[in-house]
Structure 1
Amino acid sequence: MPAVKSILNISAYLFVPLNDPAALRESIRSQAGAMALKGTVLLANEGINLFLAGAAADVRGFVDWLRDDARFAALAPKESWSAAVPFGKLRVKVKREIIRMNEPAIRPADERARAVDAATLARWLDRGHDDAGRPIAMLDTRNAFEVAQGRFRDAIDWQLSKFSEFPQALLARRAQLDGKTVVSYCTGGIRCEKAAIFMAQAGVANVLQLDGGILKYFEEVGSRHFDGECFVFDGREAVDASLAEVAPV
């Protein structure tokens, strides 16, 4: 009999100015700890990034608590289920960036990247072009080992070993994107959002991020145009298009 999947896993990020990340660290650690949640919460002046798991009522109660702070009211977690908690402990950390790019001019909290939703992207990929007739270039902004687990069909992969390599890779290969609508994508949206802003500032004409990343695409569209599974940074290692943990081979 398959194990009951009673553990709720959430991933979420929000670029929002935070002038008190150290104070937030203590209140978040206390609240999440009281609810027996495990996972990682990253805080920086640019926002919050979190991956947490626990009993559904406790996870959702924690999200409600966060949203009581007006700065986090727009937080929109992506949910999946597992039979066990895929984290060993709770970590709440203050960082220079919630996703490291080493490009101080990229400030998503000031202005979000233009985005395309999952259903629209799937329709474009069905047709082979966007609504303006431009071909689509799916650009994977994840690390090479993540891409190896699964990717959008025919996506561009620059074999990054870490996200901070993306700016230089873009500047060296920008001509590869000319004349296309570029859709940057990643696991949950955070890397592809910074990537899309950087590309737009670098002069790439038609750039969008996949809103919510692969996880939101799986939730709304499933596996259409995607081969393989999505690597996740927890004990599950990967989830399939139904957002279920991939059974070990």
Structure 2
Amino acid sequence: MNIMTYQTLLYYCYSPIENAEQFAADHLAFCQSLNLVGRIIVADEGLNGTVSGTQESCTAYMEAVYADGRFNKTEFKIDDVDEPSFIKMHCRYKSEIVHSGMRNPKEIDPNRQTGIHLEPKDFLEMKDQDDVVVLDVRSNYEHTVGRFKNAVTLDIENFREFPEKIKELEQYKGKKILTYCTGGIKCEKASALLLKEGFEDVYQLHGGIIKYGKEAGGEDFQGQCYVFDNRVTVDVNSVNPSIVSTCRNCGTTTAKMINCANPVCNEHFTQCDACGVELDGCCSDVCKEHPRKRQYDGTGYYVKVPQPVNAEKISKRKHKQIIKGS
């Protein structure tokens, strides 16, 4: 029997952080002291992270987060894994823990107004009612590989495009809107934006798809759930599982999602093993012949490497700054 000795923690917390940039640097050092790997975003508005390590290290991390009064309402989604889900540890300061795409992000504050949180069992009971619309607020590559049955999906590459898509949802204003995402963090802002735009009955799946899988068996979630680590996707449905995605190249049913081996392309897409071998992990013959193509090991997951400096882009940016300053 394979005994899993590692864990992966998915979490977020909207809570104001003073000197957040310094906090990010200190928090990185703390995570490294616990030998954790993962990715954490720190902003003035809070924390958004996924970390992975031994059970002891993960327990110590959770205890430290809870001990900080600012984050004692944090909920951790815990997965047992047979190896760490990242290779390195990153903790970076950004303007938002989820990029909202708004010119003034402070117009919405999930601590003041957000959708009604539905526990998984309540979401399960409500989702098929006639006056309900289930809304996926995730990006294309996420809902392509897995989504709730009959969910409304949006054609967006990043969540920052969500505000522009709200007008497409006007037809549902008289219904109850049930939003969902991977772990709940995007729904905090998506539901707040919907309320701001006049939608009245707005709800969100508390804990997201991950918690729904653990507490409601993932019933009626079709396909797999995309996660932001080297597992890429995980199973969540133990009740009526299915696969809804197909290979981009041949159309065969597959749940495997990879990044194109050509780092210049790096497109995220579903590809079956046979096409992966034939195209050497690339999305096309053109990318397969690219001189910078990475070695394909069958996973389609690559450690991020620094890209060459784009001198032209830097020059244009400096030119704009000079014009603004004149």
TM-score (norm 1): 0.91
User: How many matched pairs?
Assistant: 239
1:138 touches 1:184 (CA, 8 Å); kept in 2?
Answer: yes
Which of the two has greater strand per residue?
1
- Secondary structure of 1:187's aligned partner: coil
**Alignment match of 1:218 (pick from 213, 225, 228):** 213
Distance in structure 1 (CA, Å) of the matches to 2:111 and 2:40: 18
1:17 touches 1:47 (CA, 8 Å); kept in 2?
Answer: yes
Distance in structure 1 (CA, Å) of the matches to 2:185 and 2:196: 17
Shift of 1:247: 9.1
Distance in structure 1 (CA, Å) of the matches to 2:61 and 2:180: 28
1:42 touches 1:48 (CA, 8 Å); kept in 2?
Answer: yes
Shift of 1:213: 0.7
Counterpart in the other structure of 1:110: 112
- Secondary structure of 2:230's aligned partner: coil
| Residue identity in the other structure for 1:110 | R
Residue 206 (structure 2) pairs with residue 228 (structure 1): no
1:10 touches 1:80 (CA, 8 Å); kept in 2?
Answer: yes
Shift of the 159–47 alpha-carbon distance from structure 1 to 2, 3 Å rule, reads same
Distance in structure 2 (CA, Å) of the matches to 1:175 and 1:48: 32
Distance in structure 2 (CA, Å) of the matches to 1:29 and 1:42: 10
Shift of 1:242: 6.3
Matches within 5 A, 1:124-163: 124-125=126-127, 128-129=128-129, 135-163=131-159
Counterpart in the other structure of 2:160: 164
| Residue identity in the other structure for 2:69 | A
- Secondary structure of 1:87's aligned partner: coil
Distance in structure 2 (CA, Å) of the matches to 1:66 and 1:24: 13
1:115 touches 1:211 (CA, 8 Å); kept in 2?
Answer: yes
Counterpart in the other structure of 1:69: 68
Matches within 5 A, 1:36-51: 36-51=35-50
Distance in structure 1 (CA, Å) of the matches to 2:206 and 2:60: 25
The structure number with the bigger radius of gyration is 2
Residue 55 (structure 2) pairs with residue 56 (structure 1): yes
Distance in structure 1 (CA, Å) of the matches to 2:21 and 2:161: 28
1:47 touches 1:109 (CA, 8 Å); kept in 2?
Answer: no
Unaligned runs of 5+ in 1: none
Distance in structure 2 (CA, Å) of the matches to 1:25 and 1:178: 40
Counterpart in the other structure of 1:100: 99
1:25 touches 1:93 (CA, 8 Å); kept in 2?
Answer: yes
Residue 83 (structure 2) pairs with residue 84 (structure 1): yes
1:149-179 CA distance string (max 9 Å, x none):
11000100111111011111012x1323132
TM-score (norm 2): 0.70
Distance in structure 2 (CA, Å) of the matches to 1:9 and 1:101: 26
| Residue identity in the other structure for 1:143 | S
Shift of the 111–204 alpha-carbon distance from structure 1 to 2, 3 Å rule, reads closer
Identity percentage of aligned residues = 28
Shift of 1:112: 4.2
2:101 touches 2:163 (CA, 8 Å); kept in 1?
Answer: no
Shift of 1:27: 2.3
Unaligned runs of 5+ in 2: 239-253, 257-272, 274-326
Distance in structure 2 (CA, Å) of the matches to 1:96 and 1:219: 32
2:41 touches 2:49 (CA, 8 Å); kept in 1?
Answer: yes
2:43 touches 2:97 (CA, 8 Å); kept in 1?
Answer: yes
